[in-house]
């Protein structure tokens, strides 16, 4: 699979259709986000599978935003899995990236990773490499949904109380690009004190993720307290789907119901 | 265009979390926790996440300042170091080594902090050593 992707990137660089390709490389025994600008460097290309499939994924879309803000007129390639592509579609929708300036280089996740992520679309629309696998059933969410309401409430409050307020969930998130963040608004979250305000801190973020979260799971992997954040955002995303038939990042052109003005939905 | 992620170790405490300092065209743009770092496995605390910020801070001192007539004035390194050496010698001779205290920094390397405490204990002869992260 990696050779097919190398060839694809090599082609894009040699005919100068992109200025660079945002991807991952292995250097000094670590996987690092990087930008390939020369074909010779492609020996170092990594897909983010160090010990297990997808264990060294990084927010490449976030790297792309950083670069695109500085080089708005140039075209860049970016390595994408299914989740990253959902991220790209969401960032196009939110005017953070220009689809004419991005060349996605997609590949499918193996079933093993799709299962670990309980991913609803473990492949990009037009993959360069890999086989498309099936949508995975959301076991983790069903388990929590199955608790009665008081047990579920105490489960989440216990989880939230472990928070050390590192803001890692926000910082790692490619969908968190705002220059001013509600989680730093003193009317919502008190400044300079611990423990963090619960459940306000986490639910504020969950609300903001409702039409943005593309379920990549990087927040949960970055959480030093092992809070099951991914399940929380899967839930807000499920509400969006149930109420409005909308799932963030699935359809390239689709607008978010939360960004439209109009009559209330009749339900 | 020059985009880099430089692997380094967080300076803020002794845990030794691995992180990448992200830079674009020679300016730091962010911190990314290193997933393959055995200490932190892709996680950081709030200090680590913001470790890139002090480097380019406008509040950072870039030249030695010396208080003259109650006002801080910019001086050469030679003048600043001569002044420090002469005052340290004078205070140690007049009031003993424990009249001097040494404050190390969370924004330098472990090795630099080691040198600071070694200088305090071996050259001056005091155990009055402290650190801004122990507030």
Q: Is A39 in the B-facing interface, judged by CB distances under 8 Å?
A: no
Residue of A nearest to B47 (CA): A166
Statement to judge: residues A14 and A65 lie in one domain: yes
Mean pLDDT over the full length of chain B: 93
Number of domains forming the structure of chain B: 2
Neighbouring residues of B58: CB distance < 8 A, sequence distance ≥ 6: none
B78 and B128 both lie in a single domain: yes
Please check whether residue A112 lies inside any domain of the structure.
Answer: yes
Mutate to test the interface with A, among B25, B33, B35 (most CBs of A within 10 A): B35
The Cα of B26 is separated from the nearest Cα of chain A by a number of Å equal to: 13
In this structure, are A146 and A93 located in the same domain? Answer: no
Q: Is B69 found in the same domain as B42?
A: no
> In this structure, is residue B54 part of a structural domain?
no
Model confidence at A263, pLDDT cuts 50, 70, 90, reads confident
Give the pair of three-digit tokens for residue A116: 């670990």
CA-to-CA distance for B53 and B55, rounded, in angstroms?
6
Number of domains in chain A: 2
Interface predicted TM-score of the whole assembly (ipTM), two decimals: 0.92
The answer to whether residue B58 sits within a structural domain is: no
Task: Give per-residue pLDDT as tens, A150-192.
Answer: 999 999 999 999 999 999 999 999 999 999 999 999 988 998 8
pLDDT, tens only, A203-229? 999 999 999 999 999 999 999 999 999
The per-residue pLDDT for B133 is 72
Are residues B86 and B119 part of one domain? yes
User: Does residue A234 fall inside a structural domain?
Assistant: yes
Is residue A122 situated within a structural domain? no
Task: Give A30's contacts in chain B (Cβ within 8 Å).
Answer: 7, 18, 34, 36-37
Select from A83, A117, A151 the last residue of a domain: A117
Looking at the structure, do residues B79 and B44 belong to the same domain, yes or no?
no
CA distance A231 to B64: 52
pLDDT digits (tens, 9 = 90+) for B18-48: 999 999 999 999 999 999 999 999 999 999 9
Asked if residue A165 lies in contact with residue A201, where contact means CB atoms within 8 angstroms, the answer is: yes
For B82-135, the DSSP string reads: HHHHHHHHHHHHHH-GGG--EEE-TTS-HHHHHHHHHIIIIII----EEEGGG-
Residues in chain A with CB shorter than 8 Å from the CB of B45 are 164, 166, 224
| CB atoms closer than 10 angstroms to residue B123 | 11
Inter-chain contact A168–B33, Cβ cutoff 8 Å? yes
Query: Across residues A48-73, what is the average pLDDT?
Result: 96
The answer to the question of residue B55 being in a domain is no
Whether residue A209 sits in one domain with residue A102 = no
pLDDT at B123 over 70: yes
Dist. CA A132–CA A73, nearest whole Å? 33
Residues A60 and A159 grouped into a single domain: no
User: Same domain, yes or no, for A107 and A153?
Assistant: no
B121: domain range?
Answer: 65-134
Q: Which of A221, A212, A233 is nearest to A54 (CA)?
A: A221
Q: Are residues A110 and A25 in the same domain?
A: yes
Same domain, B40 and B77: no
Report the 10 Å Cβ neighbour count for A75: 17
pLDDT of residue A267: 56
Helix (H) or strand (E) holding A47: none
Q: Is the pLDDT of residue A261 over 90?
A: no
Last-in-domain residue among A52, A85, A117: A117
Name the residue range of residue A91's domain. 2-117
Contacts of A133-142 spanning 24+ positions with Cβ under 8 A: A133/A108, A133/A109, A138/A234, A138/A238, A140/A228, A140/A230, A140/A231, A140/A234, A141/A231, A141/A234, A141/A235, A141/A238
Q: Return the pLDDT at A194.
A: 85
> Looking at the complex, does the CB of residue A66 fall below 8 Å from at least one CB of chain B?
yes
Q: Is the residue at A266 inside a domain?
A: no
pLDDT of residue A193: 83
Query: Residue B37 domain-assigned?
Result: yes
Please measure the distance between the N-terminal and C-terminal CA atoms of chain A and give it in whole angstroms: 47
Question: Are both A164 and A92 inside the same structural domain?
Answer: no
Query: In this predicted structure, what is the pLDDT of residue B134?
Result: 66
Q: What is the pLDDT of residue A253?
A: 81
Distance from A254 to chain B by nearest Cα, in Å?
A: 31
Residue B113 lies in a domain: yes
Instruction: Tell if the CB–CB gap between B35 and A55 is shorter than 8 Å.
Output: yes
**Chain B contact for A101, CB < 8 A?**
no
Q: Which two structure tokens, joined as six digits, stand for A24?
A: 């991952």
**CB < 8 Å from B in window 153-212 of A:** 164-168, 171-172
Residues A83 and A166 in one domain: no
Has residue B77 been placed in a domain? Answer: yes
Domain assignment present for A267: no
A150 at the B interface (CB within 8 A)? no
């Amino acid at each position: 699979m990696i050779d097919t992707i190398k060839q694809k990137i090599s082609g894009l660089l040699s005919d100068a259709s992109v200025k660079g390709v945002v991807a991952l490389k292995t250097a000094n025994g670590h996987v690092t986000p990087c930008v390939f600008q020369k074909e010779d460097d492609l020996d170092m290309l990594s897909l983010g599978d160090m010990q297990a499939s997808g264990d060294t994924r990084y927010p490449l879309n976030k790297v792309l935003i950083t670069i695109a803000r500085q080089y708005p007129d140039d075209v860049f390639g970016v390595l994408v899995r299914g989740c990253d592509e959902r991220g790209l579609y969401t960032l196009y929708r939110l005017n953070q990236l220009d689809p004419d300036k991005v060349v996605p280089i997609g590949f499918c996740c193996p079933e093993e990773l799709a299962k670990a992520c309980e991913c609803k679309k473990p492949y990009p629309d037009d993959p360069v490499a890999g086989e498309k696998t099936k949508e995975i059933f959301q076991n983790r969410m069903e388990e929590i949904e199955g608790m009665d309401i008081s047990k579920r409430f105490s489960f989440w409050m216990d989880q939230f109380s472990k928070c050390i307020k590192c803001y890692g969930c926000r910082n790692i998130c490619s969908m968190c690009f705002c220059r001013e963040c509600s989680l730093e608004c003193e009317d919502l979250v008190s400044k300079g004190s611990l423990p963090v305000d619960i459940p306000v801190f986490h639910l504020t973020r969950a609300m903001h993720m409702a039409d943005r979260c593309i379920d990549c799971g990087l927040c949960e992997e970055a959480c030093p307290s092992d809070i099951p954040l991914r399940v929380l955002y899967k839930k807000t995303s499920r509400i969006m789907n149930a109420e409005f038939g909308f799932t963030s990042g699935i359809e390239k052109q689709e607008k978010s119901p939360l960004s439209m003005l109009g009559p209330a939905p009749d339900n | 265009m020059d985009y880099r992620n430089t692997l380094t170790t967080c300076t803020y405490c002794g845990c030794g979390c691995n992180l990448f300092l992200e830079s674009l065209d020679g300016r730091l743009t962010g911190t990314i926790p290193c997933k393959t770092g055995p200490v932190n496995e892709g996680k950081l605390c709030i200090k680590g996440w913001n470790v890139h910020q002090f480097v380019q801070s406008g509040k950072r001192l870039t030249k030695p300042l010396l208080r003259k007539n109650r006002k801080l004035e910019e001086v050469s390194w030679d003048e600043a170091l001569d002044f420090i050496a002469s005052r340290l010698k004078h205070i140690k001779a007049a009031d003993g080594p424990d009249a001097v205290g040494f404050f190390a920094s969370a924004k330098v390397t472990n090795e630099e902090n080691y040198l600071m405490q070694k200088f305090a204990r071996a050259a001056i002869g005091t155990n009055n050593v402290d650190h801004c992260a122990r507030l």
